[in-house]
Every structure is written in C-alpha cells, then in structure tokens.
Amino acid sequence: MPGFEIFGAEERKQVNEVLETGVLMRYGFDGMRNTHWKAKEFETAFAKRMGAEYCQLVSSGTAALTVALASAGIGAGDEVIMPTFTFVASFESILALGAIPILVDIDDTLTLDPKAVEIAITPKTKCVMPVHMCGSMADLRALKTICDKHGLILLEDACQAIGGTYEGKPLGSYGDLGCFSFDYVKTITCGEGGGIITNTEKYALHADHYQDHGHDHVGKDRGAETHPFLGYNFRISELNAAVGLAQLEKLEGILKTQKENYTILREALQSLEGVTFRRVPEGGEENYSFLNFFLPTKELTQKVHKALSEAGIDACFYWYTNNWHYINGWEHLHNLKSLGNLSSEVKNQMQDLNATDFSKSDAWMSRTISSLIKIGWTEKQVKDRARLMSEIIKKVLNK
C-alpha cells in the first residue's frame, strides 16, 4: 500500500484512451466514445472481484458512504452506530444526510466492539457501520447477528481493507452494503474515487440514481430522463475510472507483496517481550496493509513512537494523538462546529461527546502503533527496517 507506488504504463494507456475520445464524463456522448466506457467496465470488474452482484462507482470514499446510507433509506434523525477509531468521513457522511452518528468503543480488533454496539441500540437505530481500519476487520459474525436480531442495516466501511476476507468472503461483501475508497493513498487508486457494492437490487438502483442527481438512466437521452427521487452529484469521471481499471489488474500482486513485507516485519517483532498484535477475528484474513501492534503502556508507546521517528523510520502512526483518525482529535465534532445551523435532530439526539466515557477505546489506542506496509520496498529495505524497529523497541522497553 498504496497503489500509486506502482503507477505506470498500464494506467497511462487507459487514461490516454479516454483523452483520445475527449469524453471525460461517464454518461452520454455515445457516438464519440469509440466504445470506451471506463466506469462501466470498472464496475463490472470490481463487482466480480468482490463477489457482489452490483457495484456503483462514485467520486470518493466519503461519497460512497453517503450514497450507501442514502440508498438504504437512512435520513434525518436515524441513528448510525460507528467506532471511535476511523477517518472523519464516517461521521461526515452520516451528518450530511441529517442522520445521527452514535460513537461507541472499539476492542482489541481496533474496530467496533459488538458488546458496545448492542448497548448503544435505541428505537431510532437504523444502521451499524463497522470500519475495517488499517487492513483488518471487525467481528462481522457477531455484528451481523446483532443486526439481524434488531432489523438493522450492516454497512461495511472497507475503505482501508480492500483485499481482506472474512469467512471466505471479500471484506465489503459480508454486510448489506460495502464501501471502498480509491483515493491517492489507498491500496489501489483512481486518484480520487470510491465504490459501493451490494447484492440487493433495490440498494443498487437507489445508488445508481442518487449519485447522479436522481436520474433514472432510462434510455439514451439524459434530457428525457426522469427523477424518481432527489439526488446529488457524486459521479466519478472516466479519467478516474480509467486509472482504477489498470490498478484493479494489479491488486493481486499488491496484496502478495504487502503480505510478504508484513510477514518480515511481524516475525522480527513477535519475539519481543511486551509486544502484542491486534486481534484478527477467527475466520478473517487482513489485507496486510498495516502492521498494528500494542505496547505495554501509553507512556512506553509514546517513547517508542518518538524513537522510531527520530531514527528515520517513516510511516509509523500513533493514532491516539492523530487529528484525522481518532475521537480525541475531533474537537469540531465534540462541539458541533458548523458553518450553518444544524438540524434539530442532530442537536437534540447527538450524544455529549465531551462527557462520554471512551476509556476502553483509549486503553487500546494509546498503546497502538501502526506501521504502513509499502510495496515499493526492496527485500533489503524491509529487512533493514525490521531490524532497526526491533532494536529500537527492545531498547526502549528494556530501559
């Protein structure tokens, strides 16, 4: 990770085919396209790869979450349960629809704690959104059991975990809907882009309409299309889809290299006393895009992270103090800072995040370091990194 490390001739070829026609939009202009429909091709290929009946491409991973929620009928006042460790897009997509993000604790998977989810359910709960952070998954069987019991939508945010599997199914395909990001630093990239997969025809049709202003896409004259319901513009361009098509062909090679590099690093650290690793739920296989490990205390973790940085070990993240990915840094959400007035539903139903106890999440996140797995490393570079990380961690822990 990420796919931009191997951007090359294949992507240029796909993009040039679009540029030669001059048709950069995914809809219309049939006679000018020279049979090139990159978004449609990507959707077909991605659905097949992910074991899903339907795929809808959109402009970003955030758009994918927003469109998926809207497609399932999530709207004003509906509550969506999400984790404390994720990217800000998770709650942004929920709030964009007037729905209410309900944040709950994570466990040692670094994803939603099923017990915390069960406690958070109210009569207004409509959806549970596990976020498969840093390449590995939530306990999907437990979450699906909860959703089935309460009649809730299970929406997988697999934006950081493409290629991982659970009980033999690609992540994103286990729930009712699955969302992916293809931005510049994801496992495969479109530059900017996102995707939604589902096996439910109704959700697929809703997504198709909603992401293009509510157009029904019947016939070949956009001006004659009707609008079954309101929508917005979350379309992907042909240029972005073209890049994604080439990247998708490289996915298996990317995953193979990630696993090889991950394994070298893990084997170097697993013998160190005091180092443990995130739990991958039984039946799951991560996509190996990050090596996530725990140290004994917050203080030692901070010292190790600082020492790694000072030694020039890049791409090691301490999420506990990260403003994008952990609840402690979301001051704007804590205090509902907005450019305009928020809806009464949001004002009245949002939990008071300043007074909510997330100590269980803190206990995991304050002891977590995540090492990004790059696919451009040579074998020597990976081994040198593994040796140096091991030496640094051992030195700090033995002081």
Q: Which two tokens stand for residue 247?
A: 């990247």
Whole-number Å distance between alpha carbons of 73 and 350: 20
- The length of the chain is 399
CB burial of 236-263 (b: ≥16 within 10 Å; e: otherwise) equals bbbbbbbbbbbbbebbeebbebbbebbe
Q: Which has the closest alpha carbon to 173: 39, 44, 48, 38?
A: 48
HEC string for 138-163: CCHHHHHHHHHHHCCEEEEECCCCCC
Q: Which two tokens stand for residue 182?
A: 């293809």
Whole-number Å distance between alpha carbons of 177 and 385: 38
Task: Spell out the residues 6+ positions from residue 93 whose beta carbon is closer than 8 angstroms to its own.
Answer: 62, 65, 66, 69
In the 8-state DSSP scheme, what is residue 288? -
**Is the separation of the CB atoms in 320 and 299 below 8 Å?**
no
- State residue 341 phi and psi, 5-degree precision: -70, 135
Residues with a known catalytic role: 186
Whole-number Å distance between alpha carbons of 287 and 160: 9
DSSP labels, 311-375: TT--SEE-GGG-TTTBGGG-HHHHTT--SSPPPHHHHHHS--TTT---HHHHHHHTTEEEEE--S
- State residue 229 phi and psi, 5-degree precision: -160, 170
Indicate the residue type of 16.
N
